[in-house]
């Protein structure tokens, strides 16, 4: 009830973007986790080809976040969000309707480009529309995203009892509904000119040393978040011998998120600086990997998952809140775009390192991947604490937040 009450206090645009994120994660996770199995078992593709198809999607998304962010600044976030959801609709529909390699690659590219468009645009729009209540808005955003990430795989597993095509068409249908809803309801916001070229905007953001240092310091957060889909589910399955144990990890996180996210954000917002709480959240995320490292069984794994979710709940809303404060409001999308390029590369490298540690740990050092993750989290916490000590972080959201779109004439 607290979540719904808080949600209703925001403008219509923010409420729609929150529901949009629930739909985005539901549609994504009901399809993508099962895509590799479909490509290998149903279509008979080799592991190498499957790797190419999945890799093209990741590369298309991570490599083009900067384009999506710049487009949001120059064309307006609303149009970029709608275009991204429309492309995701088309991409997922192609997964359902085609089985040739060319069609599959096209579907992967479209799906990846779609994410590169709407991810930074949604966050830029949300940051601008929420004004001084950015932290609460991003806390709610995290709640809806986490809930969608739980509902999606559950719905996908049910739809797969019919066939993969039904699952893919359902995912495409969800994005089609989101596209129409945003086109009809999402208020237009006039893009403010930056006074420079696109390359000039990029140089300005990349020349912001404090921002780049912060983005690099946050490498640990994104790497550890990714372990909700790699190391922790693997640990749960190993501890129980049951494939479905991975679902318990997501259930624990979703329940905790619904119960605690808003309480945590609102309580911490009134106490201390953002940098302090981000460092605290990263520390909790790092410590989350110690119980499974040294204690056997499913309980330490679930305890670690709960701690990881709590750490994300502490840090993430304030991270999202601070990003626009590093620069001019006209470049909010570009800042988010570059931030997510850095995080995408970091997550890929981090997952590679954790995967190596998992393989190595099978030869008598089962604690190795867990300890590796703990070190990453603590290193990131130290990095943010150092930046906070140097007063390199914005103390609060940028004061000159544009007027909410609902108070302007609609385009």
DSSP states along 25-80: HHHHHTTGGGHHHIIIIIT---HHHHHHHHHHHHHHHHTTHHHHHHHHHHH-HHHH
90-99, 169-178, 335-344, 390-399: which is most confident: 169-178
User: Rounded CA gap, 39 and 317, in Å?
Assistant: 36
pLDDT tens across 248-283, in order?
888 898 899 999 999 999 999 888 788 999 999 999
> Residue 320 pLDDT more than 60?
yes
Tell me what the mean pLDDT of segment 102-107 comes to.
Answer: 92
> Residue 406 pLDDT more than 60?
no
Quick one: pLDDT band at residue 94, thresholds 50, 70, 90? very high
Q: Is residue 294 classed exposed, middle or buried when 0-12, 13-18 and 19+ CB atoms within 10 A define those classes?
A: exposed
> Residue 105 pLDDT more than 80?
yes
User: Rounded CA gap, 208 and 201, in Å?
Assistant: 11
pLDDT of residue 410: 31
pLDDT tens across 369-404, in order?
999 999 999 999 999 999 999 999 997 544 434 444
Quick one: pLDDT band at residue 411, thresholds 50, 70, 90? very low
Tell me what the mean pLDDT of segment 72-84 comes to.
Answer: 93
Quick one: pLDDT band at residue 144, thresholds 50, 70, 90? very high
Tell me what the mean pLDDT of segment 95-102 comes to.
Answer: 88
Quick one: pLDDT band at residue 409, thresholds 50, 70, 90? very low
Among 17, 13, 36, 14, which Cα is nearest to 25's? 17
pLDDT of residue 396: 56
Tell me what the mean pLDDT of segment 196-222 comes to.
Answer: 92
pLDDT of residue 80: 95
For residues 68 and 360, the model is more confident at 68
Tell me what the mean pLDDT of segment 7-24 comes to.
Answer: 91
State residue 212 phi and psi, 5-degree precision: -65, -40
Quick one: pLDDT band at residue 322, thresholds 50, 70, 90? very high
Give the count of beta carbons closer than 10 Å to the beta carbon of residue 47: 10
Tell me what the mean pLDDT of segment 123-135 comes to.
Answer: 90
pLDDT of residue 408: 34
Torsion sign, CA atoms 154, 160, 161, 166: positive
Tell me what the mean pLDDT of segment 143-148 comes to.
Answer: 93
pLDDT of residue 1: 56
Residues 6+ apart with CB under 8 A from 7: 15, 18, 140
Q: How far, in Å, are 54, 89, 322 from residue 180 at the CA level?
A: 28, 11, 31
pLDDT of residue 328: 92
Residue-averaged pLDDT of the chain: 88
User: Rounded CA gap, 260 and 313, in Å?
Assistant: 8
Torsion sign, CA atoms 169, 174, 175, 181: positive
Residue given tokens 């103390």 in the structure block: 395
CB 230, CB 354: distance < 8 Å = yes
> Residue 38 pLDDT more than 90?
no
Give the count of beta carbons closer than 10 Å to the beta carbon of residue 99: 15
State residue 285 phi and psi, 5-degree precision: -60, -40
Residues 6+ apart with CB under 8 A from 184: none
pLDDT of residue 113: 94
pLDDT of residue 400: 39
Tell me what the mean pLDDT of segment 63-92 comes to.
Answer: 93
Give the count of beta carbons closer than 10 Å to the beta carbon of residue 69: 33
């Amino acid at each position: 009830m607290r979540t719904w009450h808080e949600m209703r206090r925001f403008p219509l645009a923010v409420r729609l973007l929150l529901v949009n994120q629930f739909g985005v994660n539901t549609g994504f996770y009901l399809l993508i986790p099962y895509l590799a199995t479909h490509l290998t078992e149903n279509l008979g593709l080799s592991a190498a080809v499957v790797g190419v198809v999945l890799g093209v999607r990741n590369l298309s998304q991570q490599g083009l976040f900067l384009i999506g962010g710049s487009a949001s600044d120059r064309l307006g976030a609303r149009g970029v969000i709608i275009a991204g959801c429309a492309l995701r609709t088309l991409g997922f529909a192609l997964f359902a309707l085609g089985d040739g390699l060319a069609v599959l690659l096209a579907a992967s590219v479209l799906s990846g480009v779609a994410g590169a468009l709407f991810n930074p645009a949604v966050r830029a729009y949300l940051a601008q529309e929420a004004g001084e209540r950015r932290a609460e808005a991003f806390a709610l955003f995290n709640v809806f995203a986490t809930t969608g990430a739980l509902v999606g795989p559950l719905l996908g597993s049910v739809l797969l009892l019919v066939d993969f095509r039904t699952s893919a068409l359902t995912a495409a249908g969800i994005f089609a509904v989101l596209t129409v809803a945003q086109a009809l309801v999402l208020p237009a916001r006039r893009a403010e000119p930056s006074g420079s070229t696109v390359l000039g905007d990029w140089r300005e953001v990349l020349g912001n040393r404090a921002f780049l240092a912060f983005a690099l310091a946050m490498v640990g957060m994104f790497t550890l978040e990714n372990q909700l889909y790699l190391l922790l589910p693997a640990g749960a399955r190993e501890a129980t011998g049951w494939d479905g144990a991975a679902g318990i990890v997501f259930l624990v996180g979703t329940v905790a998120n619904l119960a605690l996210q808003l309480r945590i954000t609102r309580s911490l917002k009134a106490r201390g600086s953002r940098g302090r709480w981000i460092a605290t959240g990263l520390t909790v995320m790092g410590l989350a990997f110690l119980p499974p490292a040294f204690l056997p069984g499913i309980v330490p794994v679930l305890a670690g998952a709960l701690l990881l979710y709590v750490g994300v709940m502490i840090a993430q809303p304030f991270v999202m809140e601070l990003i626009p404060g590093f620069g001019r409001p006209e470049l909010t999308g570009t800042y988010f775009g570059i931030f997510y390029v850095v995080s995408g590369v970091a997550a890929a490298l981090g997952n590679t390192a954790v995967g190596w540690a998992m393989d190595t740990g099978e030869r008598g050092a089962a604690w190795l991947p867990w300890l590796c993750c703990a070190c990453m989290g603590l290193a990131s916490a130290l990095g943010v604490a150092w930046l906070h000590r140097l007063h390199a972080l914005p103390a609060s959201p940028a004061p000159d937040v544009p007027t909410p779109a609902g108070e302007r004439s609609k385009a």
